[in-house]
Chain A
Amino acid sequence: MTPLQVIFIFVAAITLGAAVMVVTTKNLIHAALWLILSLFGIAVFFVILSAGFLAVAQVVIYIGAIAILMIFAIMLTRRIARDAGPQLNSGWIWAALVSAFLFGGLVWLMGNWEGFYRSLPELNPSLDPLNQLGQALVSPQGYIIPFEVASILLVAALIGAIMVAWDKQ
């Protein structure tokens, strides 16, 4: 077993354990903190996959913005008495069954694919993924139109969010 494999198993165990805590823990603030740990684990995976930009963006966007926004929303809508009760609805056993079947089905489906055990190809040393990504996002031969559409979507959604949450009184 190589050191990278040991790191992978360690980080995967932490990430999946934190994800299980996110969906099962009673205290929602704790759930948000477990979510942050889980998102950090995914940032480590991006580093392992040599996607450095995405690892930084994961920390800045997900942990710095989205998780903090969630904590704000929890604190704005929290009721101590209501939080004490069960946090799972009565059909949770069916939800667990559906999730387990989905996992089994996905693994079975991917196991039938011949590329499943493909090993890591060498990166071409003359191509820097960060440089490539930056050029692809702003060049007309690349992905500038999807990127601009995503930007407009984000602006529209944020303005819409302000309008929806505006307290008119």
Chain B
Amino acid sequence: MIPLAWFLIFSAALFSIGLFGVLARKNAVAILMGVELMLNSVNVNLVAFWRYLNPEWIAGQAFAVIVFAVAAAEVAVGLALIISVYRRRNTIVADDIDMLKF
């Protein structure tokens, strides 16, 4: 039998790894990958709380489905912005993208 603690520690670790990716990576696509890891760890937490605390009430899974939709929207807009910046500036290093207009 797996205690709830294991899932929570696992998703805390995954969230921290994703945060490290967001803070430390240079490439904008790699930063988005870090965001994906963080969103996934949140989903694991939501489903684990649903299963352990209140399996009769499906809210945890419904919320996780909505997180899926928001993650897909986020990644589509993010990658479109990155491709658009790359066309104009020829770089996607986050440190170099520091002007609103060029």
A residues contacting B by CB (< 8 A) are: 2, 4-5, 8, 12, 15-16, 19-20, 22-23, 28, 31-32, 35, 38-39, 42, 45-46, 48-51, 53-54, 57-58, 61-62, 65-66, 69-70, 72-74, 76-77, 82, 86-89, 91-92, 94-96, 98-100, 102-103, 106-107, 110, 115-121, 123-124, 127, 129, 132-133, 136-137, 142-143, 146-147, 150-151, 153-154, 156-158, 160-162, 164-165, 167
Contacts and interface: CB of A to CB of B under 8 A. Distances in A.
A154 B72 contact: yes
Contacts, number: 254
Contacts of B52: 115, 118, 120-121
B2 to A, nearest CB: 5
A57 B65 contact: yes
A129 B4 contact: no
Interface residues on B, range: 35 or more
Contact of B20 (A31, A96, A107, A133): A96
Interface in B18-68: 18-21, 23-27, 29-30, 32-34, 36-37, 40, 43-44, 47-48, 50-53, 55-56, 58-59, 61-62, 64-66, 68
Nearest to A11: B10
27 contacts: A8-B6, A12-B6, A16-B10, A16-B13, A22-B17, A22-B21, A22-B37, A28-B27, A31-B33, A39-B40, A42-B43, A49-B47, A51-B64, A66-B75, A70-B29, A82-B93, A89-B94, A96-B24, A102-B12, A103-B12, A103-B16, A106-B15, A119-B1, A120-B51, A127-B56, A132-B58, A150-B69
Interface of B: 1-10, 12-21, 23-27, 29-30, 32-34, 36-37, 40, 43-44, 47-48, 50-53, 55-56, 58-59, 61-62, 64-66, 68-77, 79-84, 86-87, 91-95
